[in-house]
């Protein structure tokens, strides 16, 4: 079985289309189709079923996927072994929730890239769970530890959140001394039916009602607060980017969450990704301690 054909197979399985696979591989969709047909003929089995939604794996294709991913990881690992232990090189894509992606990762990744000039890092900020099996990213950061899938999971760091509002807002509205005082103030938070992880349902946890100002984006919520729109739950590590904000009810209301680094199980054989993950964990912890220690 030819590795180049397996590479095409993986691209179709991950993109669920010939055109998507072609873009990944920089070849035309017709060539992708011919390569898949050649592979199916060689092994004597249909690997994909054409559906209105795209190309889905058959039972035989699903069985082949695991072996193809292991082959991919082994080849990547061999390439890393031959290239030596010098600085990290090549491209790594990491998916993360947008709060982490906007206010924590940029400075962390900048330091890692300064130490590894040949490294290219792409941060994909999306308010949802990443699908590593489809290789949407080489690794992902999540706010919940996954319980299923062929994944390796490492805890990155704990982080903390508090209620906050702009000084302008607080000066123009009644004082907030107790939880009960929140009832007379406008809240900012997530759109309730777009909360993709229960760990993000902060307002329900503190006993607040659905917010009249809402977004699925942490950055939008933070900007609501910066412009004096109301009160909301804010990551402590994001406050350095919003000096207009002031924590409120610090002793009565404080939340603790964790970030988890998630990787496909087969990638444990790829030394480059192992080394990057190790540096990422060290730098994230260091940066979190720095940011949360700020007044």
Instruction: Please name the helix (run of DSSP H) or strand (run of DSSP E) that holds residue 123, with its range, or none.
Output: strand 119-125
Looking at the fold, whether 198 and 121 belong to one and the same domain comes out as no
Q: Is the pLDDT of residue 213 over 80?
A: yes
- As separate numbers, helices (DSSP H) first and strands (DSSP E) second, the chain gives 10, 11
pLDDT for position 10: 87
pLDDT for position 82: 47
The domain in which residue 230 lies consists of 158-257
Looking at the fold, whether 164 and 253 belong to one and the same domain comes out as yes
Q: Is the pLDDT of residue 11 over 80?
A: yes
Looking at the fold, whether 195 and 265 belong to one and the same domain comes out as no
Percent of the chain surpassing pLDDT 70: 93
Boundary of a domain, candidates 28, 51, 83: 83
Number of domains in the chain: 3
pLDDT per position as a tens digit, 145-189: 988 778 899 999 999 999 999 999 999 999 999 999 999 999 999
pLDDT per position as a tens digit, 193-206: 999 899 999 999 99
Looking at the fold, whether 174 and 227 belong to one and the same domain comes out as yes
Reported as a pLDDT band with limits 50, 70 and 90, residue 128 is low
Looking at the fold, whether 150 and 140 belong to one and the same domain comes out as yes
User: Are the C-beta atoms of 196 and 217 separated by less than 8 Å?
Assistant: no
pLDDT per position as a tens digit, 227-248: 999 999 999 999 999 999 999 9
Partner residues linked to 213 by β-bridges: 188
Average pLDDT of span 30-48 = 91
Looking at the fold, whether 162 and 252 belong to one and the same domain comes out as yes
Alpha carbon distance 243, 218 (integer Å): 16
Looking at the fold, whether 16 and 127 belong to one and the same domain comes out as no
Reported as a pLDDT band with limits 50, 70 and 90, residue 282 is very high
Mean pLDDT of all residues in the chain?
Answer: 90
pLDDT per position as a tens digit, 60-105: 988 898 888 888 777 766 665 545 456 788 899 999 999 999 999 9
Looking at the fold, whether 144 and 222 belong to one and the same domain comes out as no
Looking at the fold, whether 142 and 112 belong to one and the same domain comes out as yes
pLDDT for position 79: 61
- Here the CATH number for the domain that contains residue 270 is 3.40.190.10
3-state SS, one letter per residue, for 210-264: CCCEECCCHHHHHHHHHCCCCEEEEEHHHHHHCCCEEEECCCCCEEEEEEEEEEE
pLDDT for position 129: 64
Looking at the fold, whether 145 and 194 belong to one and the same domain comes out as no
Boundary of a domain, candidates 83, 103, 118: 83
Looking at the fold, whether 210 and 226 belong to one and the same domain comes out as yes
Minimal CA–CA distance to 293: which of 246, 240, 234, 249?
240
Looking at the fold, whether 39 and 99 belong to one and the same domain comes out as no
pLDDT for position 155: 94
Reported as a pLDDT band with limits 50, 70 and 90, residue 123 is very high
Sign of the dihedral defined by the CA atoms of residues 281, 284, 287, 288, in that order: negative
- Here the CATH number for the domain that contains residue 8 is 1.10.10.10
Average pLDDT of span 122-138 = 76
């Amino acid at each position: 079985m030819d590795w180049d054909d397996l590479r095409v197979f993986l691209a179709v399985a991950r993109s669920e289309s010939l055109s998507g696979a072609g873009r990944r591989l920089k070849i035309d969709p017709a060539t992708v189709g011919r390569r898949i047909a050649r592979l199916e003929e060689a092994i004597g089995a249909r690997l994909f079923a054409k559906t209105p939604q795209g190309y889905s794996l058959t039972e035989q294709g699903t069985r082949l996927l695991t072996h193809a991913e292991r082959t991919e990881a082994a080849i990547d690992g061999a390439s890393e072994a031959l290239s030596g232990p010098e600085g990290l090189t090549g491209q790594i894509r990491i998916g993360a929730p947008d709060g982490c992606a906007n206010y924590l990762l940029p400075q962390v990744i900048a330091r890692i890239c300064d130490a590894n000039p040949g490294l290219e890092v792409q941060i994909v900020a999306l308010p949802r769970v990443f699908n590593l099996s489809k290789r949407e990213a080489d690794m992902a950061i999540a706010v919940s530890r996954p319980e299923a899938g062929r994944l390796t999971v490492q805890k990155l760091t704990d982080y903390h959140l508090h209620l906050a509002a702009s000084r302008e807002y607080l000066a123009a509205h009644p004082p907030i001394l107790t939880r009960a005082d929140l009832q007379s103030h406008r809240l900012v938070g997530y759109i309730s039916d777009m909360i993709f992880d229960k760990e993000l349902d902060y307002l329900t946890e503190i006993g607040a009602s659905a917010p009249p100002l809402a977004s699925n984006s942490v950055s939008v919520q933070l900007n609501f607060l910066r412009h004096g729109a109301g009160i909301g739950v804010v990551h402590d590590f994001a406050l350095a980017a919003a000096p207009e904000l002031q924590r409120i009810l610090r002793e009565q209301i404080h939340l603790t969450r964790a970030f988890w680094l998630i990787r496909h199980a087969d990638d444990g054989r790829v030394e480059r990704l192992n080394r990057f993950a190790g540096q990422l964990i060290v730098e994230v912890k260091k940066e979190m301690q720095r940011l949360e220690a700020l007044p």
